[in-house]
Amino acid sequence: MQFKKHILDNGLAVIGEVNKFAKSAAVGFFVRTGSRDETMQVSGVSHFLEHMLFKGTDQLGPLEVNEAFDRLGAQFNAFTSEENTVYYAAVLPDYLGEVAKLWTHLMRPALRNEDFNMEKNVIKEEIAMYEDTPSFDVIDKGRSLHFDSHPCGNSVLGTRESIDALTSKQMREYFTSRYSPNNITVALAGNFDWDKMAELIAERCGIWQRQSVTRQTPDYQGSLKSERLKKKNLNREHICLISPAVSMQDERRFAASVLGTIVGDSVGSRYFWALVDKALAETATMQCESMDGTGAFYSYIRCSSENLQKVFDTVKAIFDDLNTNSVNGTELTAARNKILSALVLKNEIPMGRLVSLGFNWVYLNEYRSTRQDIADINAVSVDDINSLIGYFKPGRFTKFTLGPGNATPNQP
């Protein structure tokens, strides 16, 4: 594995990890923008814009875009989160140049009015679909409640109203200010010729105009408020619990991820044995989500209305015990192994490596090999977990529940 980088004069970062044994190659455009960078007036624009990039350029229509990826045999997609919009593709090594060229085209989209108006309906359907998915909806609403007026609480999808009100002019302005080259990292992974690819990217993206781009990244400990939404058509209680955790820039993020796995991995965790194995809940998970400058532990639990109080009592007991007795060596080893296994399986192919490579650069301006990540996870000790528990004292939450009735028992 060889790491390479080249920063263009306009600020665009090109980074690569070359693996001559790989049978494929992958490229990703990591744009450092998401719902946290939106004003209320343009809520949902990052995600909507991601859709619009696939509608093509002045030279390429929507079907031609699809056809161009297909001709290269590309596996490609994109996603938008609170703080990133990422476009990526994996291909056979011979086609990496062409697929990268295609993305550089798409990164300067036409944003045609007719496509914009048609796509509004697709976005509104997506909003409706997610609202009808309680496990998603409760986390989305919980996150808004937790982050309150902090920008990390902004909805990725936006609302029907914000999407209806959005104009293509607003989207163009957002695009110009956020898809600035100094706000984009182009990552390459797998079997490819670095010099050739770096030159190709420089040639095509070097002319993009640099804008002044900023992002506020204050830490935030969360509102710790409590809310309930009643939805009569539901059969189950959906519970979201959120408490503060470490940011992507915090070296304790490996320990926090291990702690999340010990408490709330979908199987074999404390939640699992106390809630799922005892049939109090059907699902109970917790994980640490580290972000730019802040972070949070998210729990999602689904249970019957009858069990709601017992579930809250059990969660309280789990965290009381955790704060008093910390964790033991056996569960630490098991959690580390599970994280390592998922990490290695994911990073075995260039497409998986690409995501780690890109995000390490976006958040840390740093190259990290899989080996370094493995070492850092293996180094997490009971003491590290202890000091994390001592610092965050987990067990006090922002709480959002979604369920069929009015029942509001004593919550943890």
Binder among 77, 176, 341, 381 for a copy of itself (CB under 8 A): 341
Does 67 help bind a copy of itself (rule: CB under 8 A)?
A: yes
Does 334 help bind a copy of itself (rule: CB under 8 A)?
A: yes
Which residues are CB-contacts of 157 (< 8 A; sequence separation ≥ 6)?
Answer: 44, 47, 123, 126, 127, 130, 140
Stretch that binds a copy of itself, among 61-69, 80-88, 145-153, 252-260 (CB under 8 A): 61-69
Does 306 help bind a copy of itself (rule: CB under 8 A)?
A: no
Stretch that binds a copy of itself, among 51-59, 207-215, 235-243, 331-339 (CB under 8 A): 331-339
Site string for a copy of itself, 210-249 (x = CB under 8 A): ----------------------------------------
CA angle 151, 358, 240 (to 5 degrees): 40
Determine the straight-line distance between the first and last CA of the chain, rounded to whole angstroms: 48
- Of 25 and 242, which CB lies nearer to a copy of itself in the complex structure? 25
| Distance of closest approach, residue 71 Cβ to a copy of itself, in angstroms | 6
**CA–CA dist 91, 380 (Å, integer):** 36
Q: Which residues pair with 286 in a beta bridge?
A: 299
| Distance of closest approach, residue 361 Cβ to a copy of itself, in angstroms | 22
Q: What share of the chain is helix, strand, coil (3-state, %, to 5)?
A: 50, 20, 35
Stretch that binds a copy of itself, among 151-159, 226-234, 261-269, 296-304 (CB under 8 A): 261-269
- Of 74 and 362, which CB lies nearer to a copy of itself in the complex structure? 74
What does 164-212 look like in DSSP terms, one character per residue? HH--HHHHHHHHHHHS-GGGEEEEEEES--HHHHHHHHHHHHTTSPP--
Residue keyed to tokens 């609302």: 159
Does 356 help bind a copy of itself (rule: CB under 8 A)?
A: no
| Distance of closest approach, residue 398 Cβ to a copy of itself, in angstroms | 28
Distances (CA, A) of 311 to 30, 276, 283: 40, 10, 11
Does 206 help bind a copy of itself (rule: CB under 8 A)?
A: no
| Distance of closest approach, residue 342 Cβ to a copy of itself, in angstroms | 6
Instruction: Specify the pairing of strand 85-91 against strand 75-80.
Output: antiparallel
- Of 268 and 404, which CB lies nearer to a copy of itself in the complex structure? 268
Stretch that binds a copy of itself, among 69-77, 101-109, 168-176, 227-235 (CB under 8 A): 69-77
Which residues are CB-contacts of 267 (< 8 A; sequence separation ≥ 6)?
Answer: none
**CA–CA dist 270, 77 (Å, integer):** 35
Does 265 help bind a copy of itself (rule: CB under 8 A)?
A: yes
Does 63 help bind a copy of itself (rule: CB under 8 A)?
A: yes
Q: Which of residues 277-296 bind a copy of itself (CB under 8 A)?
A: 277
Order across the sheet with 25-31: list the strands. 2-7, 13-18, 184-190, 25-31, 85-91, 75-80
Stretch that binds a copy of itself, among 39-47, 216-224, 238-246, 272-280 (CB under 8 A): 272-280
Does 121 help bind a copy of itself (rule: CB under 8 A)?
A: no
Distances (CA, A) of 127 to 139, 154, 351, 388: 14, 14, 28, 37
- Of 92 and 213, which CB lies nearer to a copy of itself in the complex structure? 92
**CA–CA dist 47, 232 (Å, integer):** 30
Binder among 71, 196, 225, 393 for a copy of itself (CB under 8 A): 71
Q: Which of residues 13-52 bind a copy of itself (CB under 8 A)?
A: 21-24
130: three-class secondary structure by DSSP: helix
User: How many chain residues interact with a copy of itself (CB under 8 A)?
Assistant: 36
Q: Where are the strands (E) in 57-145, listed by range?
A: 75-80, 85-91
Binder among 8, 15, 86, 90 for a copy of itself (CB under 8 A): 90
Binder among 7, 165, 344, 364 for a copy of itself (CB under 8 A): 344
What does 9-76 look like in DSSP terms, one character per residue? TTS-EEEEEE-TT-S-EEEEEEE---GGG--GGGTTHHHHHHHHHTT--SS--HHHHHHHHHHTT-EE
Site residues (vs a copy of itself, CB under 8 A): 21-24, 63, 66-67, 69-75, 90-92, 95, 265-268, 272, 276-277, 334, 337-338, 340-342, 344-345, 347-349
